[in-house]
Amino acid sequence: MAIVLPLGASVAGPVGTANAAFDPSGFDFWVDSEMGPIKSRVFRAANGNTNRVVYALDGMRARDDLNGWEIETNVARALTAANINVVMPVGGQSSFYLDWNAPSTFFGTDGSSSGSAGSSAVGSSAAGNDVAGKRNTYKWETFLTQHLPRELKNRLGFRSTRNGVFGLSMGGSAALALAGYYPQQFSFAGSYSGFLNTSAPGMREALRVAMISAGGFNIDSMAPPWGPQWLRMDPFVFAPQLRDNNTRLWISSGSAVPGQGDVSSALGIVQAVPLEALALANTRAFEVRMATIGARNAHYDYPATGVHNWKNWEDQVNRMIPDLSANIG
């Protein structure tokens, strides 16, 4: 943890990306919410069905124009070719896709001005106070489980039960939380390089540093330390619900040993290796937790090489598609 803490600013700021950028096969799908209008990108299944749907969640540095899965990978095309509709919510930087307690501030400021908490972190890129989560309170859990599925059903005819959800890093723990608390909506969840033991010693402070860097967001506005709300977001804690729901899980993390094409610079190694080591430790702890409670509903995948980057997460999606396909719709 001592190695990772100084590098926390890079959590979910992966390197070695595919950089596919805008995919014209998708279309914008706007839905109103407590946060204002939220855009998702929708990619239709090749056979036109409306029963098979998966949500793809972004990492901590989620942008407000496109979802990272679209920017950096070609997973939408692989999934739609497998006759799965893909929904990519856009935005939610540092949100963990949760309903927060309050707008993010540091001592009454948004963290974006010079000398503020947001700009003081090395490598930080603080978002201004006009973005969701600062001008208002993040309500992503409500959006993903109420507003978005309702409008997908009403306007596109998409099924709102037995959906899948997967995510990387921040999105990995969020995917498990959505499946844990909304089992009718999500019958499948995937986590790649996720932080699945967020109540472990040092994790809150590691995430605090990461969230300051990834937009200048204050973790204390999300959830108080060690209270019920904080524990509710920890997959290690709510693992029994995933077992009892019999949710099909795909859980993966790289070995933190760089493989061919994983990183292109020394800085990339310095950032991506310890981050994946932390994700691996979290993921292994979650696996042990599931085993001790008798859960048999998860597939674990640990490639021999792989660090914290989009190349490895795209590989995992491609490996996961048959399992996802068999457990949704």
Q: What angle do CA 270, 275, 277 make, to 5 degrees?
A: 105
The residue-averaged pLDDT of 30-52 equals 98
What is the model's pLDDT at position 261? 66
**How many C-beta atoms lie closer than 10 Å to residue 325's C-beta?**
17
Q: Give me the domain span that covers residue 306.
A: 5-326
Contact 196, 283 (CB under 8 A): yes
- In this prediction, residue 309 has a pLDDT band, given cuts at 50, 70 and 90, of confident
What is the model's pLDDT at position 320? 98
Q: Are strands 85-89 and 38-43 parallel, antiparallel or unpaired?
A: antiparallel
* pLDDT tens, residue by residue, 102-139: 999 997 665 554 333 333 333 346 788 889 999 999 99
**How many C-beta atoms lie closer than 10 Å to residue 30's C-beta?**
11
- Please report, for the domain that includes residue 159, its CATH number: 3.40.50.1820
- In this prediction, residue 259 has a pLDDT band, given cuts at 50, 70 and 90, of confident
Instruction: Record the tokens describing residue 279, joined without a space.
Output: 């994700």
Those residues with Cβ within 8 angstroms of residue 322's Cβ, 6 or more apart along the chain or in another chain: none
Domains contained in the chain, number: 1
* pLDDT > 50? residue 79: yes
Catalytic residues: 169, 276, 308
* pLDDT > 80? residue 220: yes
